[in-house]
Chain A
Amino acid sequence: MKLSTRNRLSAAGILSLPVLWTTVFLFIPYAIIFTYSFYQKQFPTFVPAFQFGNYALIFTDPQYVQVLLRTAKIALIVAACALFLAYPFTYFLVFKIKSPRVRLMLYMAVIVPLWVSYLLRAYTWKTILGSEGVLNSFLVMIGVLDQPSDIFLYNQFSMVVTLTYIFVPFMVMPIYTSMEKIPRNLIEASKDLGVGPFRTFLKVTLPLTTPGIVAGATFTYCLTFGDFIASFLVGGPDGLMVANVITSQFGAALNWPLGSALAIIMLIVVLTIISLSDRVERSGRLDLA
């Protein structure tokens, strides 16, 4: 057997399993959903068809438009909050902490919660923010409140808090990586050339960590965009997200075609953002070595 044939065969052998896996569990389901999105609802279930009624409904019914916009808004706020928490923290971690052991420990402190069940972590905020929760007890104890308040839970605020908490590691990780890669002498060179610390940050550190920020923002935005558990656990009537609507279409509402159309729209939004961020990252990719 020729060497090139042998190489090709072994490559095919290695790839066959993952290709099979993604085909069966990713592409085929997507294809099914895509097909469903053109079906027509007909009480009590739905019938095969090819029509754009589901999509038309989503973009004309203010109810759906509103949910989409709200989801986008919450995802944006969560990404922004995660950035403003993660960036200073990571900056401190990379540039201010001298001991590698302490740095690793603090980094792990951010990452380790990812090993704990998502549901559990979301639930924790219920016990913190609830009217019988830790926050209320504390505020009553120190006398800020006369009696427990229910303004902390079951609204968009509690959702943003929970989602930010859950997804902030996904912001820290890429920023940490991009910051760690910056050669220290670039910052020294900047100062050597007469540039103070603040402008050095703006001109050197920030541009060089932009790929990390973009990646982190993409992660947190897309993860939030598809989330339904936070809304389910700590969201109120105004906390409904697209994913919640999709779940209900496949569940109680029994309108699979509409749910599929919503899922496809969500997929398009997420894919657009990922490809945009990929492009930004590519254009900004730099040879730091």
Chain B
Amino acid sequence: MAARDDPPTAASWWRPEVHAARRPFLLTRNRMAAAFRGWFAQRDFLEVETAALQVSPGNEAHLHAFATEAIGPDGALSPLYLRTSPEFACKSLLAAGERRIFDFARVWRNRERGDLHSPEFTLLEWYRVGEPYETLMDDGAALLALAAETAGVRRLTFRGRSADPFAAPERLTLAEAFHRFAGVDLLATVQANGDTDRDALASAALAAGIRVAQDDTWADVFSRVLVARVEPALGLGRPTILCEYPISEAALARPKASDPRVAERFELYACGVELANCFGELTDPAEQRRRFELEMAEKARVYGERYPIDEDFLDALTLTPPASGAALGFDRLVMLAAGAERIDSVLWTPVART
């Protein structure tokens, strides 16, 4: 049965003929969700359902939330947000004593819409207490293989690119990837204390033929090189694990013991598409507060707003044991396994176009 996905200009999804064409994607989605739940259950993970309404939606400079207001019995208003990830709640459950949990979390991100972005989507997060983040690399590879097996395909595909989910992923550090795909010596622009040298990275990017704006920060230039040269080259033929992010690019991850310039953070890619973001979790409340404040200062500078810091979460971090945690864009993996070109094609009811 040929499934078909329509561009955003196309007819409403509820038209029976449109729905019939989309339905094979949706059935693949359901089969994958069931298979994933089974996979986690076999490994003694508990499924948790965390609250979508939060005091803070997440404190990262470029993540934008949907805001709402709680109205008390006396009519008093207090701000609440739809979460951008279930991370604060899940780490608080680890503080409470849970050891292995997963959450098929519906999350919301504002200002994001496109073939790979829906303002409402499903982030599958899972956490392992007392286990290194390398274990999550194995988990990620196993879930890609399970996705393909469940969808009945041998390869993941997107926009003419493909990757073999049964092959062991290639592992690349950010430093290796910047060197290989852009000829840029990334860590030469990061100091031992994590501070970054904007001008050094900007001139390296320019030398590689990537335009830089005068008011670009180090992080902006980093993103330009990543988008222009690195991401399109990842996950071709087989999945890629891109690891060891500079510490300034990993707000919730802990530093790597042998090199504090980089953090225990990796991203899993297939077919040039970012699928999962994983951390050795930062559990130091003072350091976490410092990084949240830096992120919110940057958000205020660029977008003119900041989100509150969730003090209860920082309290919980005092009890959170060493752990590793992963967040996988479930809808994107469905797309790649089912062969869909747009995230809306794998959502039972896509969000209205605004």
Task: Indicate whether A and B interact.
Answer: no
Give the A-binding residues of B (Cβ under 8 A). Answer: none
